[in-house]
Amino acid sequence: MLVVVPVTPPEPAGHAYGDRSAIYRTLANPLRRLILGHLQQHREANSTSLARALGESTGTTSYHLRKLAEQGFVEEIPEKSGGRERWWRALPFHIQAPDPAKMAAAEWSALVEHTRARAEHDIDLYFRVLTQYEGPDGWAQLSRGDFCMTKEELLAFYKEHIALQWKYGHTAHDAPKGARPVALRFFAVPDDTALDSKSGELRSDCGSSPEVGSSSRSRRDRGRARRSARAAAAGRRKAA
């Protein structure tokens, strides 16, 4: 399934470096994600403006900016920095986790922490695309598909999907006029429910036509999605 919805991005996307365990722990930190999102949206900031926007102290934002810089998530803007005032911008990055079987225990634990931290945000995005869909020419889009693929075909599809993101996507530094921050989410997983329970053979519904957008959803369905999104948000506020 591919989900596309305009957002204020929780993180940008290019090259981060360093120990992957530390990278995952960094991305699991809520404040550092907020800092990255702010820099991605506003292109540049210093510790004072970040503290004011996020309701933190300048000492706290300055500390987290330095940690983000150590791993290549942000960089200082030398032409704007001077004395004790340092300005920062976000750098693009892309991280692909290796085979879990080849990961050290600490790295796996950090990845799980990062994934859990992102899951709630991704669920919110899914509800948003249902409620913000305005037709095939709108900003919010949703596509589902059920197909039969070999592993080689799936991996080739995934690589082309990533290449398309970089072909049509822009960083905050080179985005053309009219561009908006957009969240793209992709996942593919074998669905054994498409197998016949007795014979283990593929059923005829494998390879059904993809469902594009929310056009097949009734007004009642979208209203239900809105109510579910509001209830989920209220539950989180109560838990907090």
What is the DSSP annotation of 66-115? HHHHHTTSEEE-TTT-BTTB-EEEE--B------GGGS-HHHHHHHHHHH
pLDDT in tens, 78-111: 888 777 789 999 887 766 677 777 777 877 777 7
- C-alpha 183: how far from chain center: 6
- Let me know whether 212 and 169 are in one domain: yes
CA 84, 50, 6, 94 torsion: positive or negative?
Answer: positive
Specify if 95 maps to a domain. Answer: no
Whether the per-residue pLDDT at 6 is higher than 70: the answer is: no
Asked whether residue 37 is assigned to any structural domain, the reply reads yes
- What is the rounded CA–CA span in Å between residue 86 and residue 40? 17
Q: Per the domain annotation, does 6 fall within a domain? A: no
Q: Is the pLDDT score of 126 beyond 90?
A: no
* H-state helical runs in the chain: 20-28, 30-42, 47-54, 58-70, 105-132, 151-168, 219-239
Look at residues 59, 90, 121 and tell me which one is the last residue of a structural domain. Answer: 90
Query: Collapsing DSSP states into helix, strand and coil, what is residue 5?
Result: strand
Considering the domain architecture, whether residues 217 and 116 belong to the same structural domain is answered as: yes
Is 215 in the same domain as 158?
A: yes
Q: Are residues 56 and 160 in the same domain?
A: no
User: Does residue 228 share a domain with residue 182?
Assistant: yes
**Identity of residue 50:** L
Q: Which two tokens stand for residue 103?
A: 């990961």
53's CB contacts (< 8 A; 6+ apart) are: 38, 45
Q: Are both 130 and 68 inside the same structural domain?
A: no
Question: Can you read off the two tokens belonging to residue 217?
Answer: 């959803």
Q: Hey, is 216 helix, strand or coil?
A: coil
Please tell me the distance from the alpha carbon of residue 123 to that of residue 121, in angstroms, as a whole number.
Answer: 5
Give the range of the structural domain holding residue 170, as residue numbers without chain letter.
Answer: 101-239
- Amino acid 15: pLDDT: 45
User: Does 131 share its domain with 232?
Assistant: yes
Q: For the chain, how many structural domains are there in total?
A: 2
For the segment 60-82, the average pLDDT, to the nearest whole number, is: 88
What are the residues whose beta carbons fall under 8 Å from the beta carbon of 103, sequence distance 6 or more? 20, 97, 111
Residues 126 and 209 in one domain: yes
Q: Are residues 130 and 54 in the same domain?
A: no
**Is 240's pLDDT higher than 50?**
no
5 versus 121: the higher-pLDDT residue is: 121
In this structure, the answer to whether residues 22 and 43 fall within a common structural domain is: yes
Question: What's phi and psi for 149, nearest 5 deg?
Answer: -140, 150
Looking at the fold, whether 51 and 81 belong to one and the same domain comes out as yes
Which one has a higher pLDDT value, 116 or 36? 36
Percent of the chain with pLDDT over 90: 18
Residue 160 scores a pLDDT above 70: yes
What is residue 227's predicted lDDT score, i.e. its pLDDT? Answer: 58
| pLDDT band with cut points at 50, 70 and 90 for residue 22 | confident
Statement to judge: residues 203 and 129 lie in one domain = yes
